[in-house]
Amino acid sequence: MIDVQTTIRRDVKLEFNETVKKKIILPTAKIVFVVSAINDTNSNLSVSSDLSKSRKSSSNNSGIINDSFSEASNKNPLIEHDRNFLLNTFGVLWNIEIKRFVLSERNNKLLHYVNQYWFYIVKIDLTCSNASSDDWAASGVNTFLSVRQPTSIFPTETKVSNLKKSKRIYGQVVNEFCEVFEVVLTLWGSDMKYIDLIAEGGYLGIWRAKVADDVSGSYEKKKILHIELNPDSIIFFQPPVGSSSRLMIRDLKPHVFNPIIVGTVIAVSDSRLPNMRPIILEDGSFHSRKVVKLKDESGVCFVTFWDELAIEASKLLPGQVIVLVGTRITFSNEKQFLNLSKKDNASFYVVNTIPGFLSSPDIHKVSYIQESYDKNLSYVYAFIRDIRPQRTNEMTSVIKALDFLCLVHNTCQVAVFVDNEDELNGVHFCEICGNNLSALNEFFKEFVIEFFVDDGSTCEWMSCSFEAAKSILGITPEIFIGLQNESQMLKALALPIGKEFAMCISSLDSEYNTSRCKFRIDCALLNRNTRARINNIIVRN
């Protein structure tokens, strides 16, 4: 069963203390079980079910450990179908020696994947400890792979004798049955820097986490979960409530310190304007800056991002929702100036991203495109029906694979379209970068795509952010360019057609909208359950 939702029966009384109430409940689960009896009665559920009225299984084995997956039954087509279903849906195979389902890639390890995992942070151990690969393997946790670096710190095929640095985070989680589990997350190497972003009393979320059994017993019995990160893991944070508090723009006063501001991006400054260009202070230091026009329900303000944050702010898109933390507010001539700088420990967070997408409670609510025209931000589940290049000029009758690519300057983050394919490796003039040759030479390639989206009631062409395009296509521009011929490129572009995605979309303001579309896809995730069901149908047929 996939996406199992549990409810507490009325005839079962459970007492919740204050500690349990503060924990996050896992919303869904995946369960593999063997049917031992079927109840034919049509009465309401009760604690004392009459098993005499149920149909018994024809097999004498009533438990999950049975001979159904033994080597002797390999020739049975039904058993082979079950084996393929479990492999495609859960990624597990039956191990005869230990009589357990194990991860197919490592038959000697017991692993469980958790799609989305939240836990309450109880303690952060700042002590940097050492552990060898042998010690780490003995603890029951598999090879750790860094989130940021797609290279294995402990390669599985070789034993590393030298010691590695690690830090641990201890937490708690409550499952669907109100059972409290202890959580231990070990971070290795460069990933230890994440500890600086969280605090005790907050919440830590991991999407595509990897949870391993302890070798001394099942985690269901010990109630201790050892967690590590996969190469494709995504972590996101919910900080504890501290001295900072969220304020509306109209409530910003001179005495306000370190507010949290949430608003929608209206426009990002153009570097061509004189007051938006980098400045040199009296001490000779060079500072880059980017100004963003922000609005919320109470008003509009201008926020200046400095240095490193200015580079990140240049990637913002109109319609995105951002959270500002550590904002420094100054007033001059009754005008307010909002500044974000790394030296003030300031930061900002874009909600229209995969971490924000997954951590939002709205992801579990059904929303439709027809309800999103008047909303800045919406979550929809829809199918991709068609694809076309994202161009401002008229469509041509012949579409080439390279029409779906463009150059993007690293400094201004603006797409630069060229008509001649030979110019893809040349220097291109940009109105924002001007005559800055170093900025003109620093560029990379991105997908510029529009998708025809269908949610069952409404169909719309939608533009797409660079990151969302890569998520939907499942391929990077570098790999796309490396394909052998035009035919393979077009096949790669057609892969998302017919698949269902969960999307975070923004409605585009007509005043600042330069696209021909009414919506932009900011981030998207393939509906894994839909893909599992499709795989199951293919295997069955």
Residue spans of the domains in the chain: they are 32-103, 111-238, 249-350, 360-538
User: Which of 265, 237, 247 lies closest to 352, judged by CA?
Assistant: 265
Beta bridge pairs of residue 382: 501
Structure tokens at 175: 């499952």
The stretch 148-175 carries a mean pLDDT of: 51
pLDDT in tens, 378-412: 888 888 988 888 764 455 556 777 778 877 766 66
Structure tokens at 87: 């492999």
pLDDT in tens, 412-438: 666 665 544 444 444 555 555 555 555
pTM of the model: 0.46
The CATH code of domain 249-350 reads 2.40.50.140
CA distances from 293 to 50, 83, 267, 384, 448 (A): 66, 55, 5, 32, 25
- Position 332 confidence tier, pLDDT thresholds 50, 70, 90: confident
- Position 188 confidence tier, pLDDT thresholds 50, 70, 90: confident
pLDDT in tens, 496-539: 888 888 888 888 866 656 678 888 888 888 876 543 443 443 33
pLDDT in tens, 34-61: 555 565 555 443 434 443 443 433 344 3
The CATH code of domain 360-538 reads 2.40.50.140
Beta bridge pairs of residue 174: 25, 180
Q: Is the pLDDT of residue 143 over 50?
A: no
446 or 401: which leads in pLDDT = 446
Nearest-angstrom CA–CA distance, 104 and 107: 6
Does CATH place domain 111-238 in 2.40.50.140? Answer: yes
pLDDT in tens, 308-322: 888 788 878 887 888
The pLDDT value recorded for residue 508 is 80
Q: Is the pLDDT of residue 108 over 70?
A: no
Does 360-538 match 111-238 at the fold level? yes
Nearest-angstrom CA–CA distance, 378 and 440: 36
Structure tokens at 406: 């463009």
C-alpha triplet 144, 216, 204: angle, nearest 5°: 45
Nearest-angstrom CA–CA distance, 114 and 528: 13
Q: Is the pLDDT of residue 367 over 60?
A: yes
